[in-house]
Amino acid sequence: MLTIDKTMDAAAVVSRLRSGMTLGIGGWGPRRKPMALVREILRSDLTDLTLVSYGGPEVGMLCAAGKVKKLVFAFVSLDEIPLEPWFRKSREAGAIEVLELDEGMFQWGLKAAAYSVPFLPTRVGLGTDLVELGELKTVTSPYGDGEVLVAMPALKLDAALIHVHRADRRGNVQALGPDTYYDEWFAKAADECFVSCEELVDAMEVSYPQDVMANLFERCFVTGVSEAPGGAHPTTMPPSYGWDMGWLKKYAAAAKDPGDWSAVAEWTVGASEADYLASVGGQEGVAALPLPVF
């Protein structure tokens, strides 16, 4: 029988990406971010990217490193550190273009892309600055009510990057934890979706059939699978590990002093993922990070 094997290392994932692409990044703020893949982008010469993200540290890092042309966002936050300082610096320097959206409009745009329609209507945005600043258009209901709604354009992604707990070689994923945010819709809005995982198994039906309900999206949406234990660090990946707030505080403080990305890229990105992981306590150190309490 012919078999499917989608495994590739992070460098192979990044080699499939191109400068100028629109990249969706799963997770939410400092939660469930595909940071190992983001670090690999930071080690590459990719540039001119349009990021679509419920923004966390990956946005600040990619902006600071000069990789970002445009950001589609509703917020960028490190949660306990509400304002992402590297993102702020980029914005206050006028270094990036933005499309600022509401959190709900954002997922609506992903869903429009997933459903292959050019837009989805919503009341969200009415009465705010988002419509004019984002050059969003309105649409009139063709039915008797005649309601005028904002036409939220599809957020079509060239590629999506998502971090999950488990994947098998064929691209069957399992995303554990209390909340997977909009990862499903990033996967479905993208032409290609690359998944990094805490644990790679040969066959999900052999290793974890009891957790099949955690299969957040079907393997037909998965282009590549990359094993990356600790791959969400420094963001939280429940139930496996919590965020590394010490790391995030140091990263945030570095935006002021020394304030220069080249001075912090080495420890925030590392020469290789193995180096990076070792620098934050290895797989065991990451696994020992306590889950945050809300």
Minimal distance in Å, beta carbon 107 to other proteins?
Answer: 7
Using the minimum distance from each CB to other proteins, give the nearer residue, 9 or 102.
102
The stretch among 87-95, 113-121, 203-211, 273-281 that binds other proteins (CB under 8 A) is: 87-95
DSSP-assigned letters across all residues of 46-78: --SEEEEESBSHHHHHHHHTT-EEEEEES-B-B
**What is the β-pairing status of strands 173-174 and 190-201?**
unpaired
Q: Among residues 164, 158, 191, 182, which one has the least CA distance to residue 51?
A: 158
The stretch among 70-78, 112-120, 189-197, 198-206 that binds other proteins (CB under 8 A) is: 70-78
Per rule CB under 8 A, is residue 209 in the interface with other proteins? no
Per rule CB under 8 A, is residue 126 in the interface with other proteins? yes
**CA 257 and chain centroid, separation:** 27
The stretch among 34-42, 122-130, 155-163, 165-173 that binds other proteins (CB under 8 A) is: 122-130
Side-chain half-sphere exposure of 61, counting CA atoms within 13 A: 28
Using the minimum distance from each CB to other proteins, give the nearer residue, 24 or 224.
24
DSSP for residue 174: E
| Burial label, 161 (beta-carbon count in 10 A; 0-12, 13-18, 19+) | buried
Per rule CB under 8 A, is residue 178 in the interface with other proteins? yes
Interacting residues with other proteins (CB under 8 A): 28, 55, 73-77, 82-83, 87-88, 91-94, 97-98, 100-105, 107-108, 122-130, 133, 138, 140, 146-149, 178-182, 184, 293-294
